[in-house]
Structure formats: structure tokens, C-alpha cells
């Protein structure tokens, strides 16, 4: 009989501003570093915003107003370039303890794998691409992945496009590539909501990240 792992701690928010989310992640990462708490997964959503990763540039943000809607811009410590976040995305931040493993590539692989397995259950054939980190469907990016690692505690994670306003992506050069089109589950003809996606994703997250619990 398979050994039953306890489930990872899950924190869920309907929506969070980006600064609140980063503050929460940093607090959780500090607790894990000090062995005060176990690793966790944060499920959340952000209002429309662009974040600029450590290899991104302010000039990758082309517009801050799209269809009359203002989109806030935040510099962020995660790796990667410019990313859009907004309603219709499922944001999965994984606070992980990599002190034993010390392998960030493996961690990124697990984040991608969690999304790939989830999408397979929705009949979407997703995978990795030479074009960059993240999850892709036919050369279109369906999920952005970006992590920050401090003293081998990793945070940030994945933004999966369920049904966001894809027009908002036109305001940026995603991941520094001007010809990177993005897609979503909705654009691929799959009607799903965040609750439904979370139900499928969480068991995969538990399987993939179980080894990181103390």
C-alpha cells in the first residue's frame, strides 16, 4: 500500500494585491527558514498588473492602460522578465524548502509538471518549450513560471491562464520575446473555473511537493 503523505498546508485567497501577496510569501518563507512552519502552497488571484522580474526591463511594459483599464506595474525579485497577472488566472505560489535538495532546476520542473498534469486532465496537451521556462501549448504560453530563492527557501511560482483577458498581455513583451503569443484554457475551448482547476491541481501539487515537507 502506498505510504499516505499528509497534505501540504494550503492558504487560499479570493484575490490579493501584489504587495500583500509578496509580504505574505516573504513571511511564510521566513517561517520555513526558521523551521517555525512547514512549506505551503498559496492559491490566489491578483487584480490586473504587470510584474517585472530580475531579467526584465521597464521598457518591456509597452502600455499601462488597455481598453481604459489602468494596469499597475511592480518590480519583483522573482527570476524572469515581465509577466501579466489578472482575474481569470490561477496563481499558485509554492513556499518550498530546498535546503536538502539544493536544485532549483528540479523545483522549476516540478512547478511546470504540476501544471502539465493538471492540463492533461482537461484534455490539453501541454509541455515545455525550448523557448523558455513555463508551460506551453503549440508554441503559445499558457502558464508563466518564476521563482525566487533565498537561502534555499523558494517562493513565487506559477500563473495559469484559465480565462484571463488576453488583450491585457498586449501591454507587455512577455519574457522578452516579442513574438510570444499567449493562450488560455478558455481560448483552447475548455470552459473551466478556478475551483475546478484547483481540485485537479492540488493532488498533483501534493504528489510533486510532498518530499519537501519536514
Residues paired with 155 in a beta bridge: 148
- Looking up cell 488571484, which residue turns up? 45
Question: Quick check: 7 and 39 in contact, CB under 8 A?
Answer: no
CA dihedral 110, 56, 166, 91 (to 10 degrees): 40
Question: Quick check: 82 and 88 in contact, CB under 8 A?
Answer: no
Give SS3 for 67: coil
**Residues known to be catalytic:** 175
- Cell numbers representing residue 74 in the block: 511592480
Closest CA to 108 of 214, 9, 208, 197: 208
- The CA–CA distances, whole Å, from 112 to 48, 106, 132, 133, 173 equal 23, 10, 11, 8, 21
Question: Quick check: 42 and 24 in contact, CB under 8 A?
Answer: yes
What does the alpha-carbon distance between residue 43 and residue 110 come to, in Å, rounded to a whole number?
A: 16
Amino acid at each position: 500500500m502506498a505510504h499516505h503523505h499528509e497534505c501540504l498546508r494550503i492558504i487560499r485567497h479570493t484575490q490579493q494585491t501584489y504587495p500583500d501577496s509578496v509580504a505574505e510569501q516573504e513571511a511564510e518563507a521566513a517561517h520555513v527558514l526558521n523551521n517555525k512552519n512547514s512549506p505551503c502552497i498559496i492559491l490566489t488571484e491578483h487584480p490586473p498588473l504587470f510584474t517585472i522580474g530580475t531579467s526584465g526591463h521597464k521598457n518591456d511594459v509597452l502600455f499601462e492602460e488597455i481598453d481604459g483599464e489602468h494596469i499597475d506595474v511592480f518590480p519583483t525579485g522573482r527570476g524572469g522578465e515581465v509577466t501579466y497577472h489578472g482575474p481569470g488566472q490561477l496563481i499558485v505560489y509554492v513556499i518550498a524548502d530546498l535546503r536538502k535538495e539544493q536544485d532549483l532546476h528540479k523545483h522549476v520542473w516540478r512547478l511546470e509538471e504540476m501544471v502539465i498534469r493538471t492540463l492533461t486532465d482537461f484534455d490539453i496537451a501541454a509541455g515545455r518549450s525550448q523557448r523558455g521556462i513555463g508551460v506551453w501549448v503549440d508554441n503559445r504560453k499558457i502558464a508563466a513560471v518564476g521563482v525566487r530563492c533565498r537561502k534555499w527557501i523558494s517562493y513565487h511560482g506559477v500563473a495559469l491562464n484559465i480565462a484571463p483577458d488576453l488583450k491585457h498581455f498586449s501591454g507587455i513583451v512577455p519574457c522578452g520575446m516579442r513574438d510570444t503569443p499567449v493562450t488560455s484554457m478558455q481560448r483552447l475551448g475548455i470552459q473551466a473555473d478556478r475551483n475546478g482547476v484547483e481540485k485537479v491541481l492540488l493532488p498533483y501539487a501534493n504528489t510533486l511537493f510532498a518530499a519537501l515537507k519536514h
